[in-house]
Amino acid sequence: MNEEMLNLKPAKVFYYFNEITKIPRPSKKEERISEWLEKTGLALGLPTKRDKVGNVLISKPATPGKENVTPVIFQSHMDMVCEKNNDVNFDFEKDGIQTYVDGEWLKAKGTTLGADDGIGMAIALAILDDKELQHGPIECLFTIDEETGLSGAKALEAGFMSGKMLINLDSEDEGQFFIGCAGGKDTVATLECDYENVKDLEDNECAFYKIMVKGLQGGHSGDDINKGRGNAVKLLTRVLWNAYCDYDIRVADIQAGNLRNAIAREGHAIVTVPVVNSESLEAYVKEMDATLKSEFHTTDSGVALTIEPADAVDMVLEESLQIDLLNALLVCPHGVQAMSQDIPGFVETSTNLASVKKVDDKIIITTSQRSSVESKKQAIVDRVSTAFWMIGADVVSGDGYPGWNPNPDSEVLRVLVDAYKNLFQKEPEVLAIHAGLECGLFSEKYPGLDMVSIGPTLRGVHSPDEKLEIKTVQMCWDLLMEFFRLLK
């Protein structure tokens, strides 16, 4: 157990979060955390059930005299984004997260912290475990696989829960209440690899190099997409494209980015170059390193572009395939595509060029699109798809998930706003969010469900820089206690 975490407040919340960090819970591999949640609910003596996909619902009957208070659902997701620094030896399917306190923040050692949404689960469990709390009927819903497709929420059956209000505990800014979100869809392009033998190249006296881009912040492909951060796939492509045009490099391998919902932080390519051009290539990479440091001195001050000798390879991508790949990656859009016409400063439509990976004899390019306008979401899916259709790739888009339309007259929102003003003597911000939340799917399955999303402050989510502001967990807990006091 992390001894530092035992001293944090609220004690019961951090007790449960510490327990959660011990349990591996990658997306689509939530069996252990799902079983643990079920056992925890039963150990608390509470009605507990698990559905066929692994979603867990733990119910807590009303305290005497509160039976007629509006039933409330607290919802969080089990899975976490599994990102680590390249120099960190860590297995997300076996190892527990190593946490530490750094001033006002809780962090992890070289990996994502998993507070998205482990802290939401911990808050819900602490509510279930609170013996002094006076409350109406409570249900706590824990869903699987939010991060890679919201499949737990999609599989949720009508009637699995019965509450009239739902508080989603998956937001990342204390003092901000979210009442709407963007819809999203993933688009994946696959190219079959053709090769040429290095010995058959016109100039087969080659040098071999590994070109790397690293040190980018990355971040959440929804929340952070408007912050101007560098994308490792785009930057590496830019370097390789120019290096091909000017120095005749040939690409043997390319690996950049990782998860569909994270902005790519790192990437590398193994390339060959005619020996006569090797010094010029090294000089170009050093020059581009300085250029990138200048371009991203504010958003990504740690960016680094490096080149180092690599082991010799026998095969490189066939030249026309390499040209098509680099051209498509170069023109594929990334970032904010449109701002909202209704909400000032709110991103309406975006796309994330998440990763490009050579896997066996295929090149797989993963992207994700988001928009709060359904027609615009499809339009950007079509634009991204076309960039890869034009080079003969097999392109597949998933079913996606719907947006969540704001309800400014929400009763749960009104009570939370009143509770916040009572505690902190100021108004919270009421917003929509460009990230995807499961609330859109809940609204389809449970029409009329009154919902809002809140949470403590997180920064650097979906990256190893993820951190949780400790004091805001107490603020969030106090808010919910005041909410219970006011709810009728």
Q: Report yes or no: 350 and 370 within 8 Å, Cβ to Cβ.
A: yes
**DSSP result, 12-75:** HHHHHHHHHHTS--BTT--HHHHHHHHHHHHHTT--EEE-TTS-EEEEEPPPTT-TTSPPEEEE
Select which of 19, 38, 79, 83 is catalytic: 79
Cα 252 versus chain centre, distance: 30
Q: Which tokens in the block code for residue 425?
A: 């003597």
* Residue 94 to residue 97: CA distance in whole angstroms: 10
Q: Report yes or no: 171 and 433 within 8 Å, Cβ to Cβ.
A: yes
Q: Report yes or no: 388 and 328 within 8 Å, Cβ to Cβ.
A: yes
* Unique residue bearing structure tokens 């739902």: 166
The CA angle 315-317-322, to the nearest 5 degrees, is: 160
* Residue 38 to residue 31: CA distance in whole angstroms: 11
Residues pairing with 251 in the sheet: 271
Specify the DSSP class assigned to residue 198: G
Conformation bin of residue 45: beta by default, left when phi > 0, alpha when psi is -120 to 50? left
Cα 384 versus chain centre, distance: 20
What is the chain's length? 488
The reply to whether 79 belongs to the active site is: yes
* Residue 27 to residue 81: CA distance in whole angstroms: 7
Rounded (10°) CA dihedral 219, 220, 224, 229:
30
What are the angstrom distances between the C-alpha of 376 and each of 81, 178, 334?
27, 21, 15
Select which of 146, 170, 266, 466 is catalytic: 146
Cα 17 versus chain centre, distance: 19
The reply to whether 87 belongs to the active site is: no
Positions annotated as catalytic residues are: 79, 146
